[in-house]
Amino acid sequence: MAGKKRRKLKLLAETETDGTKMVTEGKEERLELHDWSELPAELLELIMCHLTLEDNVHASVVCKKWHAPAISVRVVNQSPWLMYFPKFGNLYEFYDPAQRKTYSLELPELYGSRVCYTKDSWLLLYRPRTHRVFFFNPFTRDMIKLPRFELTYQIVAFSCAPTSSSCVVFTVKHISPTVVAISTCHPGATEWVTDNYQNRLPFVSSIWNKLVFCNGIFYCLSLTGWLGVFDPVKRDWGVLVVPPPKCPENFFAKNWWKGKFMVEHKGDILVIYTCCSENPIIFKLDQSKMAWEEMKTLDGLTLFASFLSSQSRADLPGIMRNSVYFSKVRFFGKRCISYSLNDSRYYPRKQCYDWGEQDPFENIWIEPPEDISAFI
């Protein structure tokens, strides 16, 4: 009996020399032992998109099969945060869509002000009661004041951080369908400079216009889709002879003027048109042909759209790429809505995407600080 038991134990312990198969007791079938490198690429990407940059780099050198999935989801950029402006009180919330976390800051310095624009972690704000215009960095608490200026129904943008000597603040409003007034200022100035310009094409300004600064030029998308351009160095203004992007008729239903956004990325101008009953359409300005071309893919780019300013990012986690993240919140939570060009659908799917009821001043995308622990 003892000899039989020893033979059985020996049989159970036998394995093939390649290390990939094992003999099972009482059965002739053999079970394969899979190596970690044999995991499907989709599963590897899903795992690695949750790793830190340092861990991702380490994982990419484990073996050849891990290298490509690790590189494809490697994050070398931070997504912007969605900053919420409370109706009452001084508690401001910041939502990180990449980590799905919310942070809070008490910012009494912003009491009585409304947000106008954001760039490089700086906010441009306006106090209607006093006509005070100022920059504020919520993460460093630095404030830079500008001369007082009355901002009525017009939008404002700035070219770069106000700590730079090349920072220019820009705003435009129409005096008539063929005349606009353009005002500029810069940190350290004692007054705003305003000039009137004649338009060859009709240009109507409103709070629903969109502004971006790209290649040294301010681009302004009008209510009706025409594109005005202003060179702050030459102080030249004009309306480009580029017909507005072509959208289906149902895109011009209720609140159509509120559901469009504009963003720049490495010299390209992109516009996003939305409709409550259709998927969004994204156009890029072909500056050689001076025409809008529809984009079927963002080539891995991620867009973050809000009423007052929008941003773009490359090299974000794989699940965020080729998508548009909107400032509209979902149901009762503070999670934003996104649209995936890969899947041709919104996340979450079953919601109303009519922008008419959302206050344009209630939130805005802002670049987060490099060190999160510094203010939490």
Q: What is the pLDDT of residue 42?
A: 78
Residue 20 lies in a domain: no
Checking if the pLDDT of 90 tops 90, the result is yes
Residue 230 lies in a domain: yes
Checking if the pLDDT of 200 tops 60, the result is yes
Checking if the pLDDT of 174 tops 90, the result is no
Sort residue 138 into left (φ over 0), alpha (ψ -120 to 50) or beta: alpha
Tokens representing 155 are 């939008």
Instruction: Provide the 3-class DSSP secondary structure of residue 268.
Output: strand
Residue 14 lies in a domain: no
Decide if 82 contacts 368 (C-beta within 8 A).
no
How many angstroms from the chain centroid is the CA of residue 194?
32
Checking if the pLDDT of 117 tops 60, the result is yes
- Render pLDDT for 51-72 as a digit per residue (tens, 0 to 9): 766 677 788 888 888 888 887 7
Residue 54 lies in a domain: no
Checking if the pLDDT of 21 tops 50, the result is no
Query: Residue 138 sits in which domain range?
Result: 81-375
Q: Which residue has the higher pLDDT, 349 or 102?
A: 102
Residue 282 lies in a domain: yes
Domain count within the chain: 1
Residue 4 lies in a domain: no
Q: What is the pTM of this model?
A: 0.79
Averaged pLDDT for residues 66-85: 82
Residues forming a β-bridge with 135:
124, 144
Provide the CATH number for the domain around residue 133.
2.120.10
What's the rounded Cα separation, in Å, for the pair 304 and 119?
13
Mind spelling out the 3-state secondary structure of 34-50? CCHHHCCHHHHHHHHCC
Residue 269's pLDDT band (boundaries 50, 70, 90)? very high
DSSP string, 307-372: SS--EEESS--GGGTTEEEEEEEPTTSSPEEEEETTTTEEESSSS---GGGS-TTSEEEEPPPS-G
- Render pLDDT for 350-359 as a digit per residue (tens, 0 to 9): 656 666 667 7
Q: What is the pLDDT of residue 23?
A: 42
Q: What percent of the chain has pLDDT over 90?
A: 49
- In sequence order, the 6+-apart residues with CB closer than 8 A to the CB of 316 are 75, 77, 79, 98, 302
Residue 68 lies in a domain: no
* φ, ψ (nearest 5 deg) of residue 209: -70, 165
What's the rounded Cα separation, in Å, for the pair 228 and 242?
10
Residue 204 lies in a domain: yes
Q: Which residue has the higher pLDDT, 202 or 247?
A: 247
